[in-house]
């Protein structure tokens, strides 16, 4: 197999690969019955996968205390490399107490399946309130990210990990494009500049507008919706992916767009998560990253453009990926086009923009979002999914 040059180096310089070889996997399976066992929740399994495939490069495992402390306080790893979100494996003290540093720990998913191995190098207690305030800018438990921190165990287990096997995604196997593969795909298409787009919501006209604006200045668009754990009231991943498939079929130039899934879990950390999402897309090979209104936000915890301002806290070359900052897009009834305040002469009453909450309320009432907000085929798919959900 010929090697294809990478268009953007991974964060830290090397793309991490922590998927066990067939031989190592067999050895782990044989030894698994005698290993101490830790059960991972859905987010921890996602983190294990993202570490193993290189999506969280340069991490090769769950963070030790030195990296954890500096990431929480300074958005940097202990060696100074920018990193905005702690990636940790937290367990109850009673589970951590008998585990010995220097040993192998079996990692099971919630169904009891043996999915990975942790080379335990360290275990340490941490300050949950400090993590909440620094990472999420609040200690309110009603914030979904803070709630996770408060409910998780009091001790972090650290060390390199191995994923036993990279299984096809149960819902989206054809869209499972890991960083090593996406880099080859970009290079094979001759793309030297690629913009990544993150969302946990169904695509609407404002998304489409900023994606196509970005596509005017780069070679390719990497549509990378998140399909890991999200809030219970978020639109399910399968519905969101069908909406993207519709857009790919009818509204995007397919030779300039790649649709792939991001198996990571949402943190809802607003500005910090914008940095995190950008670095993940850098690992997939992207050179640019779209940052829109209230990126990765929830409720009223973050200012409208805080997720854009946070990029200014790093030097111009530190992150290694260029943020493309967009204002809130809307449909302008005066010019009959999508626009922002930078391009539209309209007054507020001439602008059509609906929040995800308002759209969900319309769908529950059996109303379709207006064509100014959503492409009709996408609106119909959302309405169909809502009807099915209400019938269950």
| Environment class of 306 (CB within 10 Å of its CB; exposed 0-12, middle 13-18, buried 19+) | middle
Catalytic residue among 43, 189, 201, 256: 201
Please name the residue that has the structure tokens 């919706």: 225
Question: Three-state secondary structure along the chain?
Answer: CCCCCCCCCCCCCCCCCCECCHHHHHHHHHHHCCCCEEECCHHHHHHHHHHHHCCCCCCCEECCHHHHHHHHHHCECCCCCECCCCCCEEECHHHHCCCCCCCEEEEECCCCCEEEEEECCEEEECCHHHHHHHHHCCCCCCCHHHHHHHHCCCEEEEEEEEECCCCCCCCCHHHCCCHHHHHHHHHHCCCCCEEEECCCCCCCHHHHHHHHHHHCCCCEEEECCECCCCCCCCCCHHHHHHHHHHHHHHCCCHHHEEECCECCCCCCCCHHHHHHHHHHHHHCCCCEEEECCCCCCCCCCCCCCHHHHHHHHCCCCCCCCEEEECCCCEEECCCCEEECCCCCCCCHHHEECCCHHHHHHHHHCCCCCCCCCCCHHHHHHHHHHHHHHHHC
Catalytic residue among 106, 183, 200, 205: 200
Active site residue 201: yes
Q: How far apart are CA 18 and CA 157, in angstroms?
A: 17
Catalytic residues: 200-201
């Amino acid at each position: 197999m010929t090697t294809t040059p990478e268009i953007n180096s991974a964060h830290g310089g090397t793309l991490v690969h922590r998927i066990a070889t067939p031989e190592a996997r067999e050895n782990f399976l044989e030894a698994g019955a005698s290993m101490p066992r830790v059960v991972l929740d859905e987010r921890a399994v996602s983190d294990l996968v993202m570490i193993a495939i290189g999506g969280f490069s340069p991490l090769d495992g769950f963070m030790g205390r030195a990296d954890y402390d500096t990431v929480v306080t300074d958005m940097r790893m202990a060696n100074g490399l920018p990193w905005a979100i702690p990636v940790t494996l937290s367990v109850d003290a009673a589970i951590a107490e008998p585990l010995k540093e220097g040993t192998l720990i079996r990692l099971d998913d919630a169904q009891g399946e043996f999915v990975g191995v942790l080379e335990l190098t360290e275990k340490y207690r941490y300050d949950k309130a400090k993590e909440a305030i620094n990472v999420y800018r609040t200690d309110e438990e009603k914030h979904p990210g803070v709630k996770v921190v408060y409910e998780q165990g009091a001790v972090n287990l650290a060390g390199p990990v191995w994923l036993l096997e990279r299984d096809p995604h149960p819902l989206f196997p054809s869209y499972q494009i890991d960083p090593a593969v996406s880099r080859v795909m970009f290079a094979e298409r001759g793309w030297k500049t690629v913009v990544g787009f993150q969302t946990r919501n169904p695509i609407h006209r404002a998304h489409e507008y900023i994606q196509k604006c970005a596509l005017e200045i780069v070679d390719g668009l990497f549509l990378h919706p998140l399909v890991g754990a999200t809030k219970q009231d978020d639109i399910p991943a399968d519905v969101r992916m069908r909406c993207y498939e519709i857009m790919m079929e009818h509204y995007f130039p397919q030779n300039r767009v790649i649709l792939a899934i991001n198996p990571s879990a949402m943190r809802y950390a607003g500005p910090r998560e914008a940095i995190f999402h950008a670095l993940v897309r850098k690992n997939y090979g992207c050179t640019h990253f779209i940052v829109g209104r209230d990126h990765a936000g929830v409720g009223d915890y973050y200012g409208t453009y805080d997720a854009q301002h946070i990029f200014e806290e790093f030097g111009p070359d530190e992150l290694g990926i260029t943020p493309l900052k967009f204002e809130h897009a809307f449909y302008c009834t005066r010019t009959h086009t999508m626009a922002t305040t930078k391009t539209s002469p309209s007054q507020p009453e001439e602008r059509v923009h609906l929040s995800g909450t308002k759209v969900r309320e319309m769908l529950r009432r059996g109303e379709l979002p207006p064509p100014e907000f959503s492409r009709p085929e996408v609106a119909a798919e959302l309405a169909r999914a809502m009807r099915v959900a209400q019938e269950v």
